[in-house]
Amino acid sequence: MQRVELKIKYNRQLIPNIYEMCLEGDVSDIRQPGQFVNVAVDNLYLRRPLSVCDYNEHELTLLYKVVGRGTTRLSLMHEGQEVDILSGLGNGFTTDVPYSNILLAGGGIGIAPLYKLAKELKSRGKKLSVALCFNTESEIFYDTAFKEIGLNDVYIVTVDGSRGHKGFVTDLIRQQQQMFGYFYACGPMPMLKALCQEVNCPGEVSLEARMGCGFGICMGCSIETTKGSQRICKEGPVFKKEDVVW
Ligand SMILES: Cc1cc2nc3c(=O)[nH]c(=O)nc-3n(C[C@H](O)[C@H](O)[C@H](O)COP(=O)(O)OP(=O)(O)OC[C@H]3O[C@@H](n4cnc5c(N)ncnc54)[C@H](O)[C@@H]3O)c2cc1C
Ligand code: FES
């Protein structure tokens, strides 16, 4: 973990309430897709955790949904401003798995940590199917970005069927009847639970909780797992499917 000041390269709205922020500076503590950063927001006591969406040697990209005071204030920040960030937090996704046919499933803003993961797995020569799941067409974002990685399949799933496959990711999986060797998912808990029950292969899910410190001290983000109590910010946010107690 490292505390850094990163400079905003751009902060732009993708669709109503969803923003992409690119920051420049020392991001050397970020080592795995699926890790997160904890962002200080002016006049708010608690930092706000956001997943690492993408990174390289000197840039970090975040995707965030405006839901309250912190994310509203973030959305008003502009190019050149500095952001105080705790970087390189948590344990991310395992990228050296010995499987070739892999499913990535993201629900809403939960697609954020899957973007760098998709790039990383693609560079390792994996066959990837990505399911991006939303309530309705007007909420779709980052589909083009995922397609531009050059993945085998990028499926859009909408609950109301206004674009792509109608229903939930589990409906898509049943229709496709593909055999996956491994899966990764991030999104709302009901989606993750249904997916873990439906997919007949090992995998990993990224979980969320309201956080206090973000680095393992306050115990505020503890959950029960098959290995006992674990902190989402420290042992997670990524957990193996078999470790999660639903
Ligand atoms: C490990 C981790 C990674 C995350 N990654 C992202 C990301 O990449 N992009 C993104 O947009 N959000 C992400 N979140 C959620 C994000 O941290 C919250 O949406 C944010 O802190 C809300 O701050 P706020 O001040 O705008 O809202 P607040 O005013 O604090 O709350 C507004 C509403 O959002 C709910 N809320 C706030 N935080 C959470 C949370 N952690 N989980 C569920 N509900 C919450 C509150 O209950 C309330 O209803 C992540 C959370 C965690 C724990
Ligand atoms: S947020 Fe403090 S221990 Fe996880």
For residue 154 the two structure tokens come to 């990028």
Distance 235 CA to ligand 2 centre (A): 10
Range of the domain at 125: 101-206
Give 181 Cα–ligand 1 centroid separation in angstroms. Answer: 31
**Pocket perturbation via mutation, ligand 2, pick of 38, 219, 225, 239 by most ligand atoms within 8 A of CB:** 219
Give the closest residue (by CA) to ligand 1 atom 4.
Answer: 50
Atom of ligand 2 nearest to the CA of 217: 3
- Residues whose CB falls within 8 Å of the CB of residue 146, separated by 6 or more in sequence, listed in order: 111, 115, 118, 130, 132, 154
Integer Cα distance of 211 and 161 in angstroms: 34
Q: What is the pLDDT of residues 147-205, one digit of tens each?
A: 999 987 999 999 999 999 999 999 999 888 778 999 999 999 999 999 999 998 999 99
Residues 109 and 84 both lie in one domain: no
Residue in 35, 39, 217 to alter for ligand 2 test, most ligand atoms within 8 A of Cβ = 217
Phi, psi of 167 (to 5 degrees): 115, -135
Domain limit, last residue, from 89, 113, 138: 89
In a domain, 132, yes or no: yes
* One-letter amino acid of 21: M
**Strand 165-166 vs strand 153-158: parallel, antiparallel, or unpaired?**
parallel
Judgement on whether residues 106 and 200 belong to the same structural domain of the protein: yes
Assess if residue 26 is contained within a domain.
Answer: yes
Q: Which residues contact 47 (CB under 8 A, 6 or more apart)?
A: 38, 39, 40, 41, 86, 211, 214
Identify whether the C-beta of residue 30 lies closer than 8 Å to the C-beta of residue 43.
no
CA of 210 to the centre of ligand 1 (A): 7
Same domain, 141 and 200: yes
Whether 236 is covered by a domain: the verdict is no
pLDDT in tens, 3-52: 999 999 999 999 999 999 999 999 999 999 999 999 999 999 999 999 99
Q: Which residues have CB under 8 Å from 95's CB, separation 6+?
A: 32, 33, 117, 120, 121, 124
Find the CATH number of the domain harbouring 79: 2.40.30.10
Give the pairing type, strands 54-55 and 127-134: unpaired
Can you give the pLDDT at residue 211?
96
Residue 191 lies in a domain: yes
181 and 106 share one domain: yes
211 occurs within a structural domain:
no
199 Cβ inside 6 Å of ligand 1: no
Q: Which atom of ligand 2 is nearest to the CA of 213?
A: 2
Q: Are residues 121 and 164 in the same domain?
A: yes
Whole-prediction pTM value? 0.96
Q: Are residues 106 and 189 in the same domain?
A: yes
CATH number, domain containing residue 158: 3.40.50.80
Q: Which atom of ligand 1 is nearest to 49's Cα?
A: 17
Q: Specify the DSSP class assigned to residue 181.
A: S
Distance from the CA of 125 to the center of ligand 1, in angstroms? 33
142 and 175: one domain? yes
pLDDT tens digits along 90-137: 999 999 999 989 999 999 999 999 999 999 999 999 999 999 999 999
Ligand 2 pocket, residue 231 CB under 6 Å: yes
pLDDT of 152: 78
Spatial CA neighbour of 8 closest among 46, 53, 59: 59
Please tell me the distance from the alpha carbon of residue 12 to that of residue 183, in angstroms, as a whole number: 30
Q: How many CB atoms lie within 10 A of CB 228?
A: 9
Establish if 95 belongs to a structural domain: no
Question: Number of folded domains in the chain?
Answer: 2
Name the residue of 36, 215, 223 whose CB sits within 8 Å of the most ligand 2 atoms, as the mutation to test its pocket.
Answer: 215
Same domain for 77 and 105? no
